Amino acid sequence: MIASALQSLRPGAQWSLNGDDYDGIDWLDTQQTKPSKAEVNAEIIKLLAAYSAKEYQRQRAAAYPSFADQFDLLYHGGYEAWKSAIAAVKDKYPKT
């Protein structure tokens, strides 16, 4: 998660990470300053919240019928049948 936070805070910066904590950051970039530990921790919290907020999208993507099945449903059942199948998934995993 630290790598994602660093990429988000300092896009394009050069650094390496040894381990999984702030002390393992080897800052190589001379153009951008190394973010503070507090900045990195705050960014990790922000990124985790953004990831959690989109849980419904990941659940829906896994639950939707394949495109082939959706096209088959459209062909055999029509638009209303397809719409109903998609609505069932959206109802099961509502947008939060």
pLDDT at 96: 78
33 and 69 in a single domain? The answer is no
**What does pLDDT average to in each consecutive run of 10 residues of the chain (96 residues)?**
97 95 95 97 97 96 98 98 97 93
32 and 73 in a single domain? The answer is no
pLDDT at 57: 97
39 and 76 in a single domain? The answer is no
Q: How many domains does the chain have?
A: 2
34 and 68 in a single domain? The answer is no
84 and 66 in a single domain? The answer is yes
pLDDT at 11: 97
Residue 84 belongs to what domain range? Answer: 55-92
71 and 45 in a single domain? The answer is no
Return the bridge partners of 26, or none. 16
CA 71, 74, 80, 84 dihedral sign is: negative
This model's pTM is above 0.75 = no
59 and 41 in a single domain? The answer is no
Q: How many CA atoms lie within 13 A of 75 on its CB side?
A: 6
Tokens 């910066």, located at residue: 13
